[in-house]
Structure 1
Amino acid sequence: MFGHAILELLLKSFSLDEISQMDVQQLADFLGQKGRNRFADPECIAKSIQKAARSSYRLSKCVEDSIDLLLGLSIQSIRSLQAQIKELDKAITRHLEGIPNTLQTIPGIGPVHAADILAEIGQIERFDNQAALAKYAGLTWSKHQSGRFQAEDTSLIRSGNRYLRYYLVEAANWVQRHDETFRTYYRKKYEEVPKHQHKRALVLTARKLVRVIDALLRNGQIYTPRKGEDR
């Protein structure tokens, strides 16, 4: 929403002087409207923008015109890409409706993440168990490291489907924001080490997510959080 509002502000071709001298409430109203009234404090944001505008270095008219042209072209490119992404998201959602799966019952996993994961896994029956699925995704460690991932610098195996691993880690980041069970697990792993906390906790959360995904796909279940589960 913030990016959309700023793009709209740039498209209006206001000069730095015009922005800095604009009535604060007028600028706040503009940001609120373009941000679809989702800003908690649009007036504070408006003041910050004006402060930045006042302290910005002023360019010559020739240079400013060139930059305005480049900005306009860049904004057009961004909007074109955004429109394409929306169309692709709609197509993915439509296609996913014809594929039986329960991954979207996990809070934080939408149609795009579900489609990404399903596309890389294929038929769950290809894997003997969740451990085999985790190994395929490269979310496992060598035997002497397995089960004692305490050191923050312990590395994953250098094999597996890197696309599936990426999708699982990305999905885990969203899931831990929306689901209490995963959030608690993430925080626990985050606090176990003094450095690389987020990266380590996220990978371990993704490994936990693999167990859940395997169970849902293998048994056709919907996601039911288990309170107190921290394995």
Structure 2
Amino acid sequence: MGTATLIGIDLGKHYFFLHAQDRHGHEVWHKKATRTQLLTVLANCPASTVAMEACAGAHWLARKLQAFGHQVRLIAPQFVRPFVKGNKTDFADAEAICEAAARPAMRFVALKTPEQQTLLALHRVREALVAERTATANQIHGFLLEFGVSLPVGTLAITRLPALLDSPAVTLPPRLISLLLRLHRRYGLLSEEIAQLDSELKRQLDEDEAGRRLLTIPGIGPITASCLLAMAGDMHGFKRGRDFAASLGLVPRQHSTGGRPTLLGITKRGDKHLRSLLVQGARAVMQRAPRRTDALGIWLRSLMQRRHSNVVACALANKMARIVWAILAKGGEYRAHPATA
């Protein structure tokens, strides 16, 4: 056990599978351990490099192992899969993690702090509540359409539902009215919970100096800025802004061969929620593009004349992601450049 320099761990809920290699890449030992046994085994191991897939519980375990003196490397699961030899087993996965971690050009996932994980949990709960509220609104619209009642699009129509049901012009079965009122109360409760989470996220953002600097970027509000701080991690892990934009899936896919480059649609890799927030923010900037007199406004209006609005939104979201990288990696805040003559 003393000669192991690289340890790969296949994470599980109750059991963990370890594969240890020496500095030449030869297997030294492998074993299966419970959660309690895992910490005991690694606490007694000499300081080495420990590699894991970036999945559930990986960031917590990584912080524990760093306290033991180990150097921890987290790898995205899709980068480990090509190194699995033969049939997929737990020990084969642990060996593949070691092989992937030993590659000089391997890209690793930045370790998240407990504060970042807590912030990310708030965003995930908010995202689920918004989806549930949308489903409730769709149910209300659908049930009313079954009886020939068409509500306007938007939240205002849902809030005015009780007044509509009391109108003599609307004749609905009493049980359906009772059900619709129950859905209306559920919609209101979900809206209150979302508003409370929004207030909590804004309060945490006000206490973060980097978050306040992100708010200076056009198209980035409190929710997007908070999500960026929770997801981005250490921006110094990206060499340049385009690398960060590529990690969010805001660059074209390539299918190039024979020296002839072919660009396809955007890759849509990375976090879907964060990418959608950036695209929505870009659309908000596009709506106000005619009133912008800076260099960004001129570039945006020129692009909107030549490309589809969806292409413009993704291009602007890509630019916003690069600005985010520059602000978090180099400091400062966004300042609009004046238009050149």
**Same-fold status (TM-score > 0.5):** yes
> 1:170, CA displacement in angstroms?
2.2
Partner of 2:314: 203
> Which residue of structure 1 aligns with residue 251 of structure 2?
140
Name the structure 1 match of 2:157: 6
**Which one scores higher on RCO, CA 8 angstroms, separation ≥ 6?**
1
Corresponding position of 1:51:
none
The 1:80/1:103 distance shift into structure 2, 3 A limit, reads: same
Q: Superposition pairs for residues 91-106 of structure 1, below 5 Å?
A: 91-101=200-210, 102-106=213-217
> Identical aligned pairs, as a percentage?
24
Counterpart code for 1:88: L
2:182 aligned partner? 73
Are the aligned partners of 1:108 and 1:178 in contact in 2 as well (CA < 8 Å)? no
Q: Is the alpha carbon distance of 1:77 and 1:140 closer, same or farther for their aligned partners in structure 2, counting shifts above 3 Å? A: same
| 1:53 matched residue in structure 2 | none
Report the Cα distance in structure 2 between the residues aligned to 1:86 and 1:183, rounded to whole angstroms: 32
Query: CA 1:14–1:198 in 2, change beyond 3 Å: closer, same or farther?
Result: same
- Report if aligned partners of 2:214, 2:333 keep a CA contact under 8 Å in 1: yes
Structure (1 or 2) with the greater strand fraction: 2
CA contact (8 A) 1:109 1:174 kept: no
Paired amino acid for 1:92: L
Q: Aligned partner of 2:305: which letter?
A: E
- Please report how far the alpha carbon of residue 203 of structure 1 lies from its aligned counterpart in structure 2 after TM superposition: 0.4
CA distance in structure 1 between the partners assigned to 2:252 and 2:229 by the alignment: 23
TM-score (norm 2): 0.45
**Structure 1 match to 2:223:** 112
Q: Which amino acid aligns with 1:83?
A: E
Compute the displacement of 1:189 (Å). Answer: 2.4
Partner of 1:128: 239
1:57-102 residue CA offsets vs partner (Å, 9 max, x unmatched): x64xxx4323321221111111101100110001101111232211
Q: Does 2:305 align with 1:191?
A: yes
How many residue pairs get aligned? The number is 176
Provide closer, same or farther for how the CA distance between residues 5 and 159 of structure 1 changes in structure 2, counting only shifts above 3 A.
closer
Pick aligned residue for 1:212 from 320, 323, 334? 323
CA–CA separation in structure 2 for the residues paired with 1:6 and 1:210? 35
TM-score, length of structure 1 as denominator length: 0.64
Query: Pairwise CA RMSD of aligned residues?
Result: 2.9
Larger radius of gyration: 2
Give the secondary-structure state (helix, strand or coil) at the position aligned to 2:252: coil
TM-superposed deviation, 1:158? 5.5
Residues 143-190 of structure 1: per-residue CA shift (max 9 Å, x gap): 678xxxxx9x94123634434322321222233345625454443323
The correspondence for 2:194, drawn from 68, 85, 88, is 85
**Is the Cα–Cα contact under 8 Å of residues 247 and 270 in structure 2 kept in the other structure?**
yes
Give the CA deviation at 1:225: 1.1
Determine if the alignment matches structure 1 residue 15 to structure 2 residue 167: yes
Shift of 1:140: 1.6
**Aligned residue for 1:172?**
282
Note if contact 2:248-2:268 (Cα within 8 Å) is conserved in structure 1.
no
- Matches of 1:178 and 1:119 in 2, distance apart? 28
Amino acid at match of 2:239: D
- Alignment partner, residue 265 of structure 2: 155
